[in-house]
Structure 1
Amino acid sequence: MTATTPTGPRQPERQPVVVLGWKPTEVLEALGRYGAEVVCVCEPADAAAAEKSGVADRVVMTASLADAGEVVAALVRERVPLTEDSIVCSADEFPLVTASVAGEALGCRSWPVSRALALRDKFVQKLLIRAAGIPVADAHQVDRLADLAGVPFEPPYVVKPFDEAGVRRTVLVATTEQAEEIAARGGAEDQGPWLVESFVPGGELHVDGAVRAGRLELVSVSRYLNNVMAFRDGGLVGSTLLDPEEHPGLYAAVSDVTARSLNALGHPDGVFHLELFEQDELLVFGECAGRVGGGRVDTVVGLKFGVDLHDEWARAVLGLPSAAGSGLRDRRTFGWLHLPAVAGRVTAMPGPDEIRSRPGVEVVEMKAEVGGVMADVRKDSNSRAGRVVVSGDGAAEVEQRLRDLADWFRAAVRVEQA
């Protein structure tokens, strides 16, 4: 965090920390362990669950986390006692800018708006990365899909809304003819603005870790089982962590690009989830978030490196030293997977114990159940029957185990039309 300088020597007995959004709950728990007084601001749909979870000292409801005015008003109405020593932040990507604007308006400590914007807005992000001389996709903004004819580069390119989550509305435009078809749409759901990025070929990596004072404290490199966009064609959502000793050259190259990228984005302290594309000897920047990665990235990193990324996030917020260097590294490697299934009402499905009996399975988290309805996993990369974490002796064994598990599970699930 970037802090304003306190005017007096007295510090509050418990550090007030306002967190926008109640997930991931692990960061709220970590703040509490360090003695922070946690005030969770959330939207009406999440308020009851946040209160029931007990992870915050206080829950404040706001109409929208995307509206800084609403957040400030909610905190004032609830008479939350904030001072210049209080912190306003978010562990979720979407309210980052709101947290910075609200923190500044309330005279509290928060990220500067420029940092939050760089980590939230992918167009701004790519401008900064390109200015730093790091390979990155071309980017352009259109207000309406009808404006695709004005994109200054040829297909293939990717079109996505700025508030994207789960790759639900992202479209790969392969040809000029396809661009013309999309531009002819006139529905309300096709209004923008939209981000257009030139398509970047190559396998996709994700890099997770912690940074302090611009120095990388932890770097974990994983390779996606399939590039994220491939889930619409039946591709698997998951990744295999690559061992630093097994891939020393890749770790050196990734660490260099990661350090330069974080510096360009003005993110010297905290955690990060960064995506890169591999092209022979070249690494092309995809995007970067100042939060813990999704899926079961946190579990995999914890098992391999002995580092709790949620704890690292909380330590950075509170200005505490990083503990990333004290973890014990496991000789094995790990990977995670969204268990796939087809849409419909589930009539038969392997249970958690049966899944745990498969080779290398370490963690099982089920979301679907017999009698429940499965969403169409081809419409949202976050849709899943459940999640698993698998271990093995090297990345190749882990990847094979994940793919075998996905094939076995998909074949064992039975659904009927809902």
Structure 2
Amino acid sequence: MTATEPGRPDAPDAPGADRVVVLGWKPTEVLTALTAHGARVLCVCEPADADAAGAAAGVAEAVVVAGSVTDAAEVVAALARAEVRLPADAVVCSADEFPLVTASVAAEALGCRSWPVSRALALRDKYVQKQLVRAAGIPVAEAATVDGLDELARVPFGPPYVVKPFDGAGARQTAVVRTDADIAAASLREDAGSRGPWLVESFVEGAELHLDGVVRDGIVQLLSVSRYLNNIMDFRTGGLVGSAVLDAAAHPQLHAAAADITTRSLHALGHRDGVFHLELFEQAGGLVFGECAGRVGGGRVDTVVRLKFGVDLHDEWARAVLGTPSAVASAEQDERSFGWVHLPAVPGRITAMPTADEIRSRPGVELVELKLAVGDTVTDVLKDSNARSGRAVVSGRDAAEVAERLVDLTQWFRGRVVTGPAAAGRPEPAAGPGRRPDRAL
């Protein structure tokens, strides 16, 4: 609940400085971007992030700890206890999907600026989102809600369908229901502690794409189109989590269709200024809307877009918050293609694994991040699409070469990881009490 130095959160505003309250400590890149543009940033974070936030000099001017950044009452109370005084032109926002509605509600209570609640809800609640997109005439899955999994038999459309919690991430509690046996299994899962309400969507066939970019004044300034190596839900059967950028010159019809559905979808959701991460499915008859978020995509989407298009999506998010013009027009594009992948987490206690330098020596590797180390114990890798040993970004002449290199890299990496039986030791880094999991892709 205390503010970090320098400065108290209620200190007088500097002339011309923008005051921005950001809910959530991650991604920290947006806090750095706001500060680089001269904003006075106050970060409201949860207890698990307090030490890191307090120790990160220059990222935020002040830090206030709230019990939950997704609870407007907690946020407003924490600011009141810290005696934070905000001017009417201060902005309350979040670069994370979970606190979007909280930010809008808290801003209304504090008399500050933010997205309208309706826009935040459209970009957060997938049922509301699909209703708006369907009303705009855009192909999208059928959707329904149930309070408990024992109500699945009453869903007004037949299986197969996808069942997911409204506050989920990383497909942790998401399941495909195809048979009565699947319904029974889902009900048992709820009995084990996963409570509703639940979103039920008709299952959509086709390869999965993700579209990332920048929109300003309702006009799409940048559009990156990528195809996942495997559809996200395939991770439960060993599918890779990663993607490769599809160049516009090599896929002109797909890009034209993607641009059209992106513009129409963003208009339907009221998202006129900011960044977006939109997922679609490719079918013979055209593209089908999956979902859309008003944030930077997960994985290493940000790095891929920066390398390919010369655009920093975190900076573009900050520019939209501050009302500063976009820098997309001055960016230079790389002729190569790029992609990213989660390096697989192999179950067991890790006794040996490749070093970062060894991974960098593989063809086309541009970036390596390792999350696990020798001594860590890995479990439940098929329950979370964010389960990984690390991440890598790869370049190539085109999307086909990038995809091939990503697959080869993961196969090589998996073959070099040595594990033994799970034992006492360092557990796999995971979300602890009160800590938000990694963002969904």
Unaligned runs of 5+ in 2: 1-12, 423-441
Residue number among 345, 354, 358 corresponding to 1:354 in the alignment: 358
What amino acid sits opposite 1:219 in the alignment? L
Structure 1 match to 2:156: 152
Give the deviation of 1:13 after TM superposition: 3.3
Within a 5 Å distance, the mapping from 1:203-222 to structure 2 comes to 203-222=207-226
- Asked whether the 8 Å contact 2:19–2:91 carries over to 1, the reply is yes
Give the deviation of 1:83 after TM superposition: 1.1
Deviations 1:336-390 (A, max 9, x none): 0000032221111111111111100000111111122234321111110010000
* Distance (whole Å) between structure 1 residues aligned to residue 369 and residue 133 of structure 2: 37
Deviations 1:41-63 (A, max 9, x none): 01111111111122111000001
What amino acid sits opposite 2:19 in the alignment? P
* Distance (whole Å) between structure 2 residues aligned to residue 390 and residue 330 of structure 1: 13
Residue number among 106, 123, 126 corresponding to 2:127 in the alignment: 123
Residue number among 296, 303, 309 corresponding to 2:300 in the alignment: 296
* Distance (whole Å) between structure 2 residues aligned to residue 303 and residue 381 of structure 1: 24
Structure 1 match to 2:38: 35
Alpha carbons of structure 1 residues 181 and 27: separation in structure 2 relative to 1, 3 Å? closer
Alpha carbons of structure 1 residues 183 and 62: separation in structure 2 relative to 1, 3 Å? same
Structure 2 match to 1:329: 333
Structure 1 match to 2:24: 21
1:44 corresponds to 2:16: no
Residue number among 57, 63, 66 corresponding to 2:61 in the alignment: 57
* Distance (whole Å) between structure 2 residues aligned to residue 144 and residue 50 of structure 1: 38
* Distance (whole Å) between structure 2 residues aligned to residue 329 and residue 275 of structure 1: 23
- Asked whether the 8 Å contact 1:142–1:195 carries over to 2, the reply is yes
Structure 2 match to 1:90: 94
- Asked whether the 8 Å contact 1:342–1:376 carries over to 2, the reply is no
What amino acid sits opposite 1:302 in the alignment? R
The 10-residue stretch of structure 1 (361-370 or 175-184) with the greater mean CA deviation from structure 2: 175-184
Structure 2 match to 1:255: 259
Superposed CA RMSD in Å reads 1.3
Alpha carbons of structure 1 residues 84 and 149: separation in structure 2 relative to 1, 3 Å? same
- Asked whether the 8 Å contact 1:147–1:183 carries over to 2, the reply is no
1:113 corresponds to 2:136: no
What amino acid sits opposite 2:410 in the alignment? A
What amino acid sits opposite 1:126 in the alignment? K
Structure 2 match to 1:313: 317
* Distance (whole Å) between structure 2 residues aligned to residue 136 and residue 108 of structure 1: 35
Structure 2 match to 1:5: none
Unaligned runs of 5+ in 1: 1-9
* Distance (whole Å) between structure 2 residues aligned to residue 302 and residue 340 of structure 1: 24
- Asked whether the 8 Å contact 1:40–1:58 carries over to 2, the reply is yes
Q: What is the count of residue pairs matched by the alignment?
A: 409
SS in 1 for 2:304: helix
1:183 corresponds to 2:191: no
Give the deviation of 1:184 after TM superposition: 5.6
SS in 2 for 1:389: strand
Structure 2 match to 1:390: 394
* Distance (whole Å) between structure 1 residues aligned to residue 371 and residue 183 of structure 2: 37
Give the deviation of 1:69 after TM superposition: 1.1
Alpha carbons of structure 1 residues 185 and 327: separation in structure 2 relative to 1, 3 Å? closer
1:339 corresponds to 2:354: no
Within a 5 Å distance, the mapping from 1:58-77 to structure 2 comes to 58-77=62-81
* Distance (whole Å) between structure 1 residues aligned to residue 380 and residue 195 of structure 2: 24
Give the deviation of 1:281 after TM superposition: 3.5
The 10-residue stretch of structure 1 (373-382 or 294-303) with the greater mean CA deviation from structure 2: 373-382
**Seq. identity, %:** 68
SS in 1 for 2:196: strand
Deviations 1:323-347 (A, max 9, x none): 1121110010000000003222111
Structure 1 match to 2:431: none
* Distance (whole Å) between structure 1 residues aligned to residue 416 and residue 400 of structure 2: 24
Alpha carbons of structure 1 residues 317 and 284: separation in structure 2 relative to 1, 3 Å? same
- Asked whether the 8 Å contact 1:336–1:402 carries over to 2, the reply is yes
Q: TM-score, normalised by structure 2?
A: 0.91
* Distance (whole Å) between structure 1 residues aligned to residue 382 and residue 189 of structure 2: 22
- Asked whether the 8 Å contact 1:141–1:196 carries over to 2, the reply is yes
* Distance (whole Å) between structure 2 residues aligned to residue 116 and residue 325 of structure 1: 27
- Asked whether the 8 Å contact 1:157–1:172 carries over to 2, the reply is yes
1:287 corresponds to 2:268: no
- Asked whether the 8 Å contact 2:345–2:387 carries over to 1, the reply is no
* Distance (whole Å) between structure 1 residues aligned to residue 183 and residue 380 of structure 2: 25
Alpha carbons of structure 1 residues 181 and 389: separation in structure 2 relative to 1, 3 Å? closer
What amino acid sits opposite 1:355 in the alignment? I
Deviations 1:70-108 (A, max 9, x none): 111111221222011100000000000000000111110
Structure 2 match to 1:3: none
The 10-residue stretch of structure 1 (141-150 or 203-212) with the greater mean CA deviation from structure 2: 141-150
* Distance (whole Å) between structure 1 residues aligned to residue 185 and residue 409 of structure 2: 39
* Distance (whole Å) between structure 2 residues aligned to residue 97 and residue 300 of structure 1: 28
Residue number among 378, 385, 403 corresponding to 2:407 in the alignment: 403
What amino acid sits opposite 1:334 in the alignment? F
* Distance (whole Å) between structure 2 residues aligned to residue 399 and residue 41 of structure 1: 39
